[in-house]
Chains A and B, each alone.
Chain A
């Protein structure tokens, strides 16, 4: 039950990142997505993994809350395809995670596939560096989650690495394109 709710919260957060362009929306999306993924990491890989994901996401969200385009800018004009993407991908991935694939960890499978897919789509369709960096931070956190599906021999290191990457990406100094 808890894992199912966490997966839903992660989907909600990823959807807000896809639908929002302002820094408040992006930060809120990171908070939701991180909360969902941290619970799933904690359930599947232990406390250290959950704490690492939560810390990385919190730093990324805090950074995004203070830099980037002002306001919320949720669903600006022309956002219908994004909304359709969020809903349709959620349904398709739910079917794959719960019916096409079997065994324990359906919430984990759902979260990784959905968050990675939505963040990949956000980067493909986006142009604004703060939006792209936010999506990349959340993608980093999602990439660490499949470590729980392996034999667990690497310990919490994938989660720690993901947290470091997610937490630091937002501080990257970016320059505009130049014909150097």
Chain B
């Protein structure tokens, strides 16, 4: 197993523990633990198996299991994304192994990126969302729980499978798709009507940074991607879980805690998102400075959406307040001293 995948699995386990401990009492903790544990085991298996075909098969099994969870969206709707992802990546695998012109390997790069976007639920293949859907059957586990490990595995396998030319195409596609997701996600998180949809778009925007980080094939790019994934799993996901009750009650607040949460979501200092953004900008500057300019402009778009999401948390009380404090403290600690995370991932 790759060290970065192992780190991401550990973070996902921590997020699951958070969800089980701090979820509102009305939710069944046992069911959450069972479904989340299945997802975690599947993620670990995706990363641990020795070949990419096996990873795809586990992804397919996980997709079928997730689609079969009871929920307001039809089985067919929930099954489409993982099946399309697996089919696309299987075809990409054939192109990657086949002999032929350089264009053949480039098709493999396109298939891998398209499959990753479909599996995680990013543009151009966003999973349909029902605002009142329970979290376990919603698209959120794909974008914030299974997706990070899957992305690390796909990027690692792509480096093994693709030659230099196709590898460049793979990186370029990731950057292009990343910029698209940054723009679409951050603007939509700001302007969309539904608060739940705004949260989902904020995940999409964060994933844009991840894709750009993986696409910039310098060491700082990989570090930035890992730290953004950290902020998704240990920051945005737990804060979304903590906000679920307030979202149901449609209550908002503008207390200092809401601005702190907004700061964490926007990637401001001293939270971990800030370090990730600095690393990404540094890597982009080394690669091609106009890319850094585009990224910097895109990063400004986080602020209005984050202020909105911070308010949607309302005023956390009791167990929820402890959870939010813990999340903020972890994100500050990782922002001030990210080295242990990067060392654990050998980046």
Range, interface on chain A: 35 or more
Instruction: Check if B54 is an interface residue, CB within 8 A of chain A.
Output: yes
Chain A residue nearest to B101 in the complex (CB): A100
Contact indicator B100/A143 (Cβ below 8 Å): no
Number of A-B contacts (CB under 8 A): 132
Please provide the chain B residues from 35 to 65 with a CB less than 8 Å away from any CB of chain A in the complex: 50-51, 53-54, 56-58, 60-61, 64
A143 to chain B, nearest CB (A): 5
Task: Give, as a whole number of angstroms, the nearest-CB distance from B259 to chain A.
Answer: 34
Cross-chain contact A158 with B54 (CB below 8 angstroms): yes
A78 interface residue per 8 A CB criterion = no
Whether the pair B60, A172 counts as a contact (CB closer than 8 A) is no
Is the Cβ of B98 less than 8 Å from the Cβ of A103?
Answer: yes
Assess A161 versus B54: contact at CB under 8 Å? Given A101-B99, A124-B80: yes
The main secondary structure of chain B at its interface with chain A is: helix
- Is A150 a contact of B94 with CB atoms below 8 Å? no
Are A149's CB and B97's CB within 8 A? yes
User: Is A109 in contact with B98, judged by CB distance below 8 angstroms?
Assistant: yes
A100, A132, A177: which contacts B100 (Cβ < 8 A)? A100
89-130 of chain A: CB within 8 A of chain B:
100-103, 109, 112-113, 116-117, 119-120, 123-124, 126-129
Question: With the chains together, A172 CA to B60 CA distance in Å?
Answer: 14
- Pick from B54, B101, B103, B132: contact of A157, CB below 8 A: B54
Q: Which of B68, B72, B73, B97 contacts A146 (CB 8 A)?
A: B97
- Chain A residues in the interface with B (C-beta under 8 A): 100-103, 109, 112-113, 116-117, 119-120, 123-124, 126-129, 132-133, 135-136, 139-140, 142-144, 146-147, 149-150, 153-154, 157-158, 161-162, 165, 169, 172-175, 177-180
7 contacts between A and B (CB under 8 A): A102-B100, A113-B94, A129-B75, A139-B86, A144-B53, A162-B57, A174-B75
